[in-house]
Amino acid sequence: MDSQNPSAQAPTASRDEPKNHPSRGTSAGVVHDNSHHTTHFTVIGNHLAQHEALSLTAIGLATHIQSLPAGSPVDIRSLARRFPEGTTRIAAALRELEAHGYVRRNRERTAAGHVVTRTVSCNRPGTVRPRRASGNAEAPPPRPEPEPPPRRAEKPKARRRALPSVPQPVYATPDLLLTAVGVLSGLRRADPRLLISATDAEHLAPGVVAWLERDVPPEAVHRALTTGLPTEPLHRPASLLAHRLDAGLPPLPPFRPRTPAVVHPMQNCDSCDHGHRAPKPGLCRGCEST
């Protein structure tokens, strides 16, 4: 039976002993306490673990993807269910890995006609792994990414119906248009429900001008538009006003031919000798009145 020799000299430490051994570590910097893995491990290159351009999220995500068995889902939604970073940060990290060659995502169509995304993880970008021989087992087919839930169909905005047409004037002068806008803007004083927008007033103003051209004074147009209004709420007062301007348009005034003015010749007054116009010689109006 072997026995330990208490007087035996302790072995001298080798010069090749790693300086980062726990017993010789310092307070500054990292100290490694490593164990040799025999199962369930993944080899990660320092070009990934110490990449200067990748974010820490992208490095960690690449490490996780390289540790997964073939056929594991690595779409954004599956990764977001696994990790707390959320879809936005995971999508950004995948874009980083794609930009530096650690991940390739290709859209392919299966024999069944479905479009799937095949994600290829590269543990060493820039190298192409030869394909397996036909006798070897093939990698499992890619799992189709889950279809995103259908977006809720947005209701189309109801298109505003155009206002009814209004009668058009023969010639809308600026003065008549200004008077028409004044008539329309004053309707709300008679009934607050007749408050209209500037766009509606621009549409209705020519109809008011058509009334003014028919010798209808502005006060009469105001009464025609505000008298006998319905008692229920007016959902679109401009539509009611357009209907009244068109339906109640008065007729054109009767044609009155102008009688040409008679111009009498100049006569000299028989009394004061002042000139005046008269059909025949005689006294002027001033001398006739005295």
Report helix, strand or coil for 104: strand
Residue 203 has what pLDDT? 95
* Model confidence band, residue 13 (pLDDT cutoffs 50, 70, 90): very low
Residue 113 has what pLDDT? 78
CA-based nearest residue to 180, from 213, 147, 142: 213
Q: What is the pTM of this model?
A: 0.38
Residue 66's Cβ-count burial label (10 Å; 0-12, 13-18, 19+) is: middle
Tens digit of each residue's pLDDT (9 = 90 or more) over 28-68: 788 888 888 888 888 888 888 889 889 999 999 989 998 98
* Model confidence band, residue 200 (pLDDT cutoffs 50, 70, 90): very high
DSSP for 213-265, please give it. Answer: TTT--HHHHHHHHHTT--SS--S-HHHHHHHHHHHTPPPPPPP-PPPPPP-PP
Q: For residue 237, what are the CA distances in angstroms to 135, 185, 195, 205, 227?
A: 82, 13, 7, 14, 14
More confident residue, 168 or 257: 168
Query: Under a CB-based contact definition with an 8 Å cutoff, are residues 238 and 204 in contact?
Result: yes
More confident residue, 108 or 204: 204
Residue 250 has what pLDDT? 93
CA-based nearest residue to 140, from 118, 156, 158, 115: 118
- CB neighbourhood size of 78 (10 A): 15
Residue 204 has what pLDDT? 96
How many whole angstroms separate alpha carbon 25 and alpha carbon 95? Answer: 39
Report whether pLDDT(191) > 90: yes
Residue 197 has what pLDDT? 93
Query: Under a CB-based contact definition with an 8 Å cutoff, are residues 244 and 224 in contact?
Result: yes
What does the pLDDT average to over 132-160?
59
Q: For the chain, first and last CA: distance in Å?
A: 174
Q: Which two tokens stand for residue 217?
A: 């004074």
